Structure 1
């Protein structure tokens, strides 16, 4: 398995950087990994390499490229919030389209394209899956379930009925149970295969508990393996 960064030219004379991990053997399909609020961090790179180890050609677009920021791991919460606030939903969608296009250029068919995101990326992953034709999508701890995280995007309960592909949502019990129930019901109205799983955890992210994290990761791989084939 190899990991590298490629630059894809954009129509505005800029470029989108993609962190790419390629499997050693045959490619099962392609998955776009959407970054968390602090950018393409080491955690995001671990997701990309973990998917490649399971046979997927995985790419993480650097969504902050218009501001020259990739990793805000050492930034303050205020700096991160400011950067997130400058994200435009249409630009995010455009960058996802560029990443999907790169995967298509590398001979990945549409029905074997997936998207995965964590926190901020999890929110974006559901919105992408509601607006693009893909094979499967996974949201981990996506924010903005009932209240939109940004003026430019709908709340997840509003977008979920429009899902176009099988979607898996993973949350911890720290999330509001009533909101999770509404998200589950909204996703079911889409008419595609959906599942929302809640893990016991004392923190916001399910991976506070290593046992839950291992089971959730296996569930993610099984979801993609079942629907991208």
Structure 2
């Protein structure tokens, strides 16, 4: 089987018609294949997130990760860009939705696309993946320990981190949630509150919580990394996308 893939930095059209940087990866096969928008975590558009994007391409998906901090810090080191974006209040929800919409349009415009697009996000990106699923017409969304979908955020948090559970009624697609049982943001209580809301609105969802894991258990470059949880989580993500993004 031909297994070559192409990964490169591209420019896509984001919210308000803005040109934003993105990292794209795709298998060099004729398709048709499904597509994934990877939403980076608060630390930014970094090497680890680009590796995740390439992983999806290796698994047979077209994938793109928009740099959500392009406007605040174009070309900056991920840590510096993240600090600059946080100092300016973070990524506004409306802009996030516009940027993900632009990424989805980019993916659907590829000749190998089957037109089906899912999102996945980690940490703040998990919240934003849920937000995208409630704001756009998608075929799948994955929330990896997204904080402040439910619950009260810490004092002083910007509007970009406020609860959005009230949008559950608008969720357009099946949702996969992966959480750490020892996490505080979201806590098991926060996860239960979201699950209750999903049930109340008859939404299709699948949640898994991992004992012995806290926040960022997927992050291979952090002490929080939990290999068993991450391995199982990857298997569930790929199975979920396989069911919902196939032609």
Whether TM-score is above 0.5 comes out as: yes
Aligned to 2:168: 160
- Match runs of 1:46-125 below 5 Å: 46-69=51-74, 73-75=78-80, 81-82=86-87, 85-107=89-111, 108-110=113-115, 112-125=116-129
User: How big is each residue's C-alpha offset from its partner over 1:186-225, in whole Å with a ceiling of 9 and x where there is no partner?
Assistant: 1223423201110122432233210110110110010000
CA offset at residue 174 of structure 1?
1.5
Matches of 1:44 and 1:56 in 2, distance apart? 15
- Change beyond 3 A, Cα 1:154–1:199: same
Counterpart pick for 1:206 among 202, 217, 223: 217
Query: Is the Cα–Cα contact under 8 Å of residues 48 and 58 in structure 1 kept in the other structure?
Result: yes
CA offset at residue 70 of structure 1?
5.9
Matches of 1:156 and 1:12 in 2, distance apart? 22
Matches of 1:11 and 1:120 in 2, distance apart? 18
Tell me the C-alpha RMSD between the 2 structures: 2.4
CA offset at residue 58 of structure 1?
0.3
Aligned to 2:144: 140
Matches of 1:76 and 1:20 in 2, distance apart? 20
User: How big is each residue's C-alpha offset from its partner over 1:33-53, in whole Å with a ceiling of 9 and x where there is no partner?
Assistant: 011112111121121011111
Greater percentage in helix: 1
Query: Is the Cα–Cα contact under 8 Å of residues 123 and 139 in structure 1 kept in the other structure?
Result: yes
Aligned to 1:22: 26
CA offset at residue 86 of structure 1?
3.4
Aligned to 1:8: 12
Query: Is the Cα–Cα contact under 8 Å of residues 39 and 70 in structure 1 kept in the other structure?
Result: no
How many residues in Structure 1 have an aligned counterpart in Structure 2?
Answer: 227
Task: Report SS of the residue matched to 2:10.
Answer: strand
Aligned to 2:47: 42
Matches of 1:4 and 1:77 in 2, distance apart? 21
User: How big is each residue's C-alpha offset from its partner over 1:66-102, in whole Å with a ceiling of 9 and x where there is no partner?
Assistant: 112466544498656325x232111111111111111
- Change beyond 3 A, Cα 1:190–1:48: farther
- List alignment gaps of at least 5 residues for structure 1: none
Q: TM-score, normalised by structure 1?
A: 0.88
- List alignment gaps of at least 5 residues for structure 2: 219-224
Query: Is the Cα–Cα contact under 8 Å of residues 171 and 198 in structure 1 kept in the other structure?
Result: yes
- Change beyond 3 A, Cα 1:188–1:46: farther
Task: Report SS of the residue matched to 1:66.
Answer: coil
Matches of 2:59 and 2:189 in 1, distance apart? 34
- Change beyond 3 A, Cα 1:39–1:22: same
CA offset at residue 154 of structure 1?
5.1
